[in-house]
Amino acid sequence: MVNGRLPSRLKKEPLIDAIFEVRFTSSMDVASILPGLLMARLGKIEKVERLPISDIPRPIRQSDQNLQFQPLLRLVWEQFLINIGDRLVGISCKLPYVGWSDFKRAILEVYKHIFTIGVIEKTERYSMKYVDLIEGNDPGEMVDRVAVDLNVGGHQLKREPFMVRVEVPDGSISHIVQVIAPAVVKLSTGQKTGVIVDIDSVCAHSTEDVEAFMSSLDSRLVEIHAANKRMFFSSLKENTIEYLEPEYE
């Protein structure tokens, strides 16, 4: 960061995944209702994919907290993927990333349709997750990419493989930060190696009325996206930010 300013974009785009998700309560079979609704209202749904969890009977899914928040179906829509489960709807971007403005537009459009038909009773939490891969091959270089100072049993991390997970409070938001090196990721453009910086920014609340949640969704998106972005750049060393070729507005 330059004088505390965050880059508006990076020429060397490290992003490999971006997901916004809302978890909710509902007495209806949401996964059976929403695909048809979204196909009718959004149009241009290229594909509906059944995911492996959908083969598990609904009563079993509802009784297991590990399964309640797993997607059952995925809709392919324009540059986005819409994941639908018993108690969640999530939207992610295909690569290359379309940028925050278009991603935010898609989020607002999808949830506008979902929240107006009355199948969602209350919202419980929402989250914004970005996963970035900063390329590199040398173990020492990977460690030097991130702002991690790790000492275990008197041994200072220098070039060893490592995986760190920490929850960082930030007002009403909790950032679940995971840093992994080395990491190998297979993308449509080929295989890449480097250090993963995974930041899941979560805002959990007691159940909230859907209308109240939707009325403030725009401002909530701005807030949680900005918080996630600050956390990401705070997790990098200055030389790494320069390596990614930042641009400032």
Mean predicted confidence (pLDDT) in 101-115 = 96
Question: Of 176, 193, 175, which is closest to residue 184 (Cα–Cα)?
Answer: 193
Q: Please, which pLDDT band fits residue 66 given cuts at 50, 70 and 90?
A: confident
**pLDDT for position 133:** 97
Average pLDDT, the chain: 93
CA 189 to chain CA centroid, nearest Å: 21
High-pLDDT (> 70) share of the chain, % = 99
Higher per-residue pLDDT: 65 or 195: 195
DSSP-based helix, strand, coil % in the chain, nearest 5: 30, 45, 25
High-pLDDT (> 90) share of the chain, % = 84
> Residue 47 pLDDT > 80, yes or no?
yes
**pLDDT for position 3:** 60
Q: Is the dihedral of CA 92, 245, 233, 199 positive or negative?
A: positive
pLDDT tens, position by position, 2-37:
567 899 999 999 999 999 999 999 988 899 999 999
**pLDDT for position 2:** 53
Q: Please, which pLDDT band fits residue 180 given cuts at 50, 70 and 90?
A: very high
**pLDDT for position 1:** 56
> Residue 191 pLDDT > 80, yes or no?
yes
